[in-house]
Structure 1
Amino acid sequence: MSRSILHALLHTGLITAAMLSLSGQTTAQTGTQTNTQHQGMHHQPMKVETKPFAPTAGASSTAVYDDLSNVPLWPNLGTVSYRVTTASPLAQRYFDQGLRLAYGFNHAEARRAFRKAQQIDPDCALCHWGEAMVLGPNINAPMEAEAAAPALAAVTRAMALAPAARPDEQALIEALARRYAADPAADRRSLDAAYAEAMMDVAKRYPDDADITVLTAEALMDLSPWDYWQAGGAEPKGHTAEIVRMLEAVMERNPDHIGAIHYYIHMVEASDRPERAVPGADRLASFDLGAGHLVHMPSHIYYRVGRYLDSLQANRRAVATDEAYLESIGTAGIYPGAYFPHNIHFLMASAQMAGDGPTAVSSAEKLQATVTDDAARTVPWVQPIMAAPYFAHAQFSQPDAIMAAPAPSDEFPFVKAMWHYARGVAQAKAGDAAAAGKEADAISALERTADFSGLESAGVPAATVLELARHVVRARIAQARDDNGGAIAEFTAAAELEGKLPYMEPPFWYYPVQQSLGAALLRAGRIDEAEQAFATSLTRARNNGWALYGLMKVHEARGDREAAKEAAASLERAWAGDPGMLDLARL
């Protein structure tokens, strides 16, 4: 998961410890951990990194994780294995499963595996260490007070058993002991920093141990989640350069290490050179993995480098993998509530960029069925997730289908605004400029009257997105009236607003508006300006088939057959949809 709503919501108090307790992803004693969004190529990051929601968990929802009577040995979780001091091969297998699941960010299931290993061999020191480790913070969620006691108990038990373990195991346990404190008022930042410092010492003592190196890298990542690059993505922040070097060294020695690949993708995806993670992403995609988040992870790089078809396929496999997993454990908790919807959302966004309308629309419908009103009512940040399907419908659904969609509740104004947006685009496409204008007016009314403070405090630029949407609807109305000048003015305003949006994946706005501006400029005969707009679109979204089509039309307008042929070939490679659906009015 490329950006954590869990951290943002805990930080702002929008969800409670009870909602997260089932997975053990609970933090701190009283300290809080700040988080910043991925660094965009052109923008300052937003102040919190956000992802899909974590649903409320009732007391009974934890049962699947508390029950150790039938803990499956899941197949296809990778080959990572760390030998622990135990006489039980079965305890070793469950320990390895816990470590692999932790590397795949399924911390609740990882904890269950570590606890099963403890049940089989109560004297396995590192089995208790594993439970304590996954109860701590990670880049997608801080730690809450409710995890402090079980984490401390687990690491205390590990310390008691450590004398019988190997020196490397003892070193890991001693380092983790610095992450937790009996004092509930202990500062979380200081504890996390102490743990990271201790792990750096352990890594120096065992420089050839891949898992120790990866765990050290993660400890450093947790000190500044998602805040790894200066604006523009060229200059690293804090420990970033060191983390990148550590993970690259592990992948050079062990190119199949799922933890190293996973964390490396997160480290460089928001940089100005995400392509350096392509070999690892390709390798991860080639594995037959049963961990949905790891199946999904290559798409974080594929989307950034313009491999939308590969991103689509990765998320399609991830959704299927997660659905099979959720059939066995149910739908309670952070993994099904946050990571699973993220994969659906990413599948939809990838399909949109690749021109695969049927997949985009079907994914939109699945996402609408997955994210509930109760979730949006509890967690205001869910509104952008609920609203995203309207973008897919605006792009691919027929106007009559869009107009038949029921109105969302007035209590979700961001969602309501994007419903009006889709309707406005549909009516403009159908030639009813007056009706489309009413939808733009409805968006404007929501801009004036709705309270978006909950969204804005969670880092969602709601006001900017609504203003952008209104300008795009007005531009589509101008196009319907053959008013190229009006369309150019409105698309220019929308593109300027889009340029101010913080980096997000999938993006807050679903396509580069520069391609619409380019189409309007080309229709007005302003060929050079159109070419520049399409080029800008391609820098914002590499290998974007919509913009490649526009560029092809620019070359055709110039009479440059070779350049047009080259653009057409690029379009054919990038496009998953029907090429016949493309025309300038749809860009």
Structure 2
Amino acid sequence: MQSNRKISLRALAGSLMLATSMLAVTASAHEQTKTELYKPGVSYAAGSGKPTEGERPPLYQGLGDLTMPITTKSKEAQAYFDQGLRLTWGFNHAEARRSFQEAQRLDPECAMCYWGEAFVLGPNINDAMHEEAKAPARDAIQRAEALKAGVGGKEQALIEALAKRYGANPAASRPPLDRAWAEAMGNLAKAYPDDANILVFYADALMNLQPWDYWEADGLTPKGQGGEIVAALERALEIDPKHPAAAHLYIHAVEASADPSRAEAVADRLRGSMPAAGHLVHMPAHIYARVGRHADSIAVNRDAIAADEAFLAQSGEAASALYRFGYYPHNVHYLLVSAQMAGVRDDVIGSAEKLATITSDDVSQKLAWVQAIKAAPFSAHAQFSDPDTILALPSPGDRFPFVKGYWHYARSVALAFKGDLEAASSEAEAIEQLIDKADMSSLEEQYLPAKDVLGIAKFVVEARIAQARRDYVEAERHLNEAIRLQDGISYMEPSYWYYPVRQTLGAVLLQQGRAEEAIAAFEKALQESPRNGWALWGLLKAQTAGNRDTTDTKAAFAQAWLGDERLLSLGRL
């Protein structure tokens, strides 16, 4: 996948560059270099802002042993506080709140039990502060303040620091409050440099000042407080190499950098350490996918899906909409794209079919990154299904033009394979109509470069049509336009466009007998998407045609490709 580059919009993915004049929409100005992955400022009220009632939460098994000793007269309250902390760092915020509330019930005099609730109601790197969370967050921190005389100096300092995050004025602007919290935690990190939990809270506070935007466009230079974030997390990991929160945030902090491999060992230690926390089970995949460990990414996402399904079955209505319809489908999406790279058709199609049943139109309407998940099954079918299966897929309707563009894309690919090039061209024209006329501003406001991504789809299918006509010069021209767009997209996890278009360019070059140029295209594709089985197969064919040594490529392909080699052809790359 890609490291940060020049981009245009920001999204739960990234953004794009200047497009070709052939697409009026994508020819709009891309004036700034943005490096943010996406905009988390569009909050979705996912249940974490409302008091919970009914059955007490269980003490879950399989959440590891992370602890933060607090002042309490109840061992059970300490257990629920620790569980709340573990769930918080597993980004299961609504369930974490339930645990903190249960800790309060068990020990109403526990100041830090209220502190935990106040913390989890705040913003995080994936979600802004919910309007309905403001009052309960202030109430919780005020209860903690009222009880702080009964706790030690470190806990008092944490309470005083968090109080700065929630002002007395409900209408107060968030950024100054978030900066005050980060500054206070910076002071605490200096006062307690050997406390891994405090270092993690400090890093998290800094990350929330610039969520998903930690590196300059070169992927090498820390942006803003990026250097301090990485340093704080590395110090926490020195103190406690298995600290799950430090590992989680460190993966997020470096995954978009030019050297995501620096977090491989951290990802390996996190793997399996909290087997019931689905999001943390999944998190190593953010590094595994970046470095081409697709088999490992497949494995951890299978486990994450199982963990989330067990949690959702147990928690029922208590589970937040964001977790049920966001984080859980994200794991399925990740399994799908990792399996795509490795050629594991059963996982690809199985995940595509599952996504069609577990995504929510309501959440997709509000969150751009969830809408991207909703679109993924169509690219999966385009790559792995036979044309008749693709053409039988029902229309997703008009509510989500971005998703419908992917449907048209899959249909055009299928029709080109069948040789019905006129119908394939009609589907390409339908994509262009969406680019020109559909309102996707809500996606672009969240930095999903929807029209540019659909521009890639349009150029790719036009190349497929030209390829079917054996007009390889025309196919090459369309692919170069798609590549210009793709090169403008910043890092996204998973990438908004599902494969490196240079792999198709390599195939078209090879079809023209231009083996050396094809080799260069495939090698570049593999820089963008390491150990991608499709590109490795193409490179092997190009090296063979160019009378190059294929020993290393054969070995790499044998390790990377986990599927049926009969799927592979130059026309499908």
TM-score (structure 2 length as normaliser): 0.91
Task: Give the 3-state SS of the residue equivalent to 1:66 in structure 2.
Answer: coil
Aligned to 2:5: none
Q: 2:64 aligns with which of 56, 72, 78?
A: 78
User: Once the 2 structures are TM-superposed, how far is the Cα of residue 103 of structure 1 from its aligned partner?
Assistant: 1.4
Contact 1:178 1:191 in 2 (8 A): yes
User: Once the 2 structures are TM-superposed, how far is the Cα of residue 46 of structure 1 from its aligned partner?
Assistant: 5.9
Structure 1 stretch displaced more, 435-444 or 189-198: 435-444
Task: Give the 3-state SS of the residue equivalent to 1:204 in structure 2.
Answer: helix
Could you tell me which amino acid in structure 1 is paired with residue 547 of structure 2? G
Return the alpha-carbon distance in structure 2 between the equivalents of residues 401 and 547 of structure 1: 25
Contact 1:427 1:435 in 2 (8 A): yes
Return the alpha-carbon distance in structure 1 between the equivalents of residues 251 and 82 of structure 2: 22
Return the alpha-carbon distance in structure 2 between the equivalents of residues 460 and 503 of structure 1: 12
Contact 1:552 1:565 in 2 (8 A): no
1:293 aligns with 2:279: yes
Aligned to 2:391: 403
1:333 aligns with 2:324: no
Task: Give the 3-state SS of the residue equivalent to 2:262 in structure 1.
Answer: helix
- For each residue in 1:257-280, what CA deviation from the matched residue of structure 2 results, as whole angstroms up to 9, or x when unmatched? 101100100110011111000001
1:49 aligns with 2:60: no
1:488 aligns with 2:446: no
1:360 aligns with 2:348: yes
Contact 2:13 2:447 in 1 (8 A): no
Aligned to 2:210: 224
Q: 2:358 aligns with which of 359, 362, 370?
A: 370
Aligned to 2:374: 386
Aligned to 1:174: 160
Structure 1 stretch displaced more, 138-147 or 119-128: 138-147
Return the alpha-carbon distance in structure 2 between the equivalents of residues 338 and 533 of structure 1: 35
Return the alpha-carbon distance in structure 2 between the equivalents of residues 291 and 406 of structure 1: 34
User: Once the 2 structures are TM-superposed, how far is the Cα of residue 293 of structure 1 from its aligned partner?
Assistant: 0.5
Return the alpha-carbon distance in structure 2 between the equivalents of residues 381 and 251 of structure 1: 30
Alpha-carbon spacing, 1:516–1:62, altered in 2? closer, same or farther (3 Å): closer
Q: 2:428 aligns with which of 420, 435, 440?
A: 440
Aligned to 1:20: none
Q: 1:187 aligns with which of 170, 173, 187?
A: 173
Task: Give the 3-state SS of the residue equivalent to 2:135 in structure 1.
Answer: helix
Contact 2:100 2:114 in 1 (8 A): yes
Aligned to 1:28: none
Aligned to 2:188: 202
Task: Give the 3-state SS of the residue equivalent to 1:535 in structure 2.
Answer: helix
| RMSD of aligned Cα (Å) | 2.5
Return the alpha-carbon distance in structure 2 between the equivalents of residues 35 and 124 of structure 1: 42
Aligned to 1:574: 560
Return the alpha-carbon distance in structure 1 between the equivalents of residues 482 and 423 of structure 2: 21
Contact 2:291 2:530 in 1 (8 A): yes
Contact 1:52 1:385 in 2 (8 A): no
Q: 1:148 aligns with which of 120, 134, 149?
A: 134
Aligned to 2:521: 533
1:281 aligns with 2:267: yes
Q: 2:221 aligns with which of 235, 250, 268?
A: 235
Could you tell me which amino acid in structure 2 is paired with residue 186 of structure 1? A
TM-score (structure 1 length as normaliser): 0.89
Contact 1:55 1:332 in 2 (8 A): no
Structure 1 stretch displaced more, 389-398 or 475-484: 475-484
Aligned to 1:412: 400
User: Once the 2 structures are TM-superposed, how far is the Cα of residue 243 of structure 1 from its aligned partner?
Assistant: 1.6
1:102 aligns with 2:88: yes
Aligned to 2:489: 501
Alpha-carbon spacing, 1:108–1:546, altered in 2? closer, same or farther (3 Å): same
Aligned to 1:314: 300
Return the alpha-carbon distance in structure 1 between the equivalents of residues 367 and 121 of structure 2: 23
Contact 1:54 1:338 in 2 (8 A): no
Higher relative contact order (CA 8 A, sep 6+): 2
Q: 2:461 aligns with which of 469, 473, 480?
A: 473
- Paired positions, count: 550
1:450 aligns with 2:438: yes
- For each residue in 1:146-166, what CA deviation from the matched residue of structure 2 results, as whole angstroms up to 9, or x when unmatched? 222211111111112111112
Alpha-carbon spacing, 1:360–1:290, altered in 2? closer, same or farther (3 Å): same
Return the alpha-carbon distance in structure 1 between the equivalents of residues 534 and 473 of structure 2: 22
Return the alpha-carbon distance in structure 2 between the equivalents of residues 93 and 522 of structure 1: 62
Aligned to 1:215: 201
Return the alpha-carbon distance in structure 2 between the equivalents of residues 289 and 580 of structure 1: 36
User: Once the 2 structures are TM-superposed, how far is the Cα of residue 422 of structure 1 from its aligned partner?
Assistant: 0.6
Return the alpha-carbon distance in structure 2 between the equivalents of residues 62 and 504 of structure 1: 26
Return the alpha-carbon distance in structure 2 between the equivalents of residues 174 and 221 of structure 1: 20
1:551 aligns with 2:539: yes
Task: Give the 3-state SS of the residue equivalent to 2:497 in structure 1.
Answer: coil
Aligned to 2:77: 91
- For each residue in 1:56-101, what CA deviation from the matched residue of structure 2 results, as whole angstroms up to 9, or x when unmatched? 76xxx78997136421001111211111111211111111111111
Return the alpha-carbon distance in structure 1 between the equivalents of residues 37 and 268 of structure 2: 29
- For each residue in 1:525-555, what CA deviation from the matched residue of structure 2 results, as whole angstroms up to 9, or x when unmatched? 1112111111110111111111111111121
Return the alpha-carbon distance in structure 1 between the equivalents of residues 391 and 499 of structure 2: 22
User: Once the 2 structures are TM-superposed, how far is the Cα of residue 364 of structure 1 from its aligned partner?
Assistant: 0.8
Aligned to 1:11: none
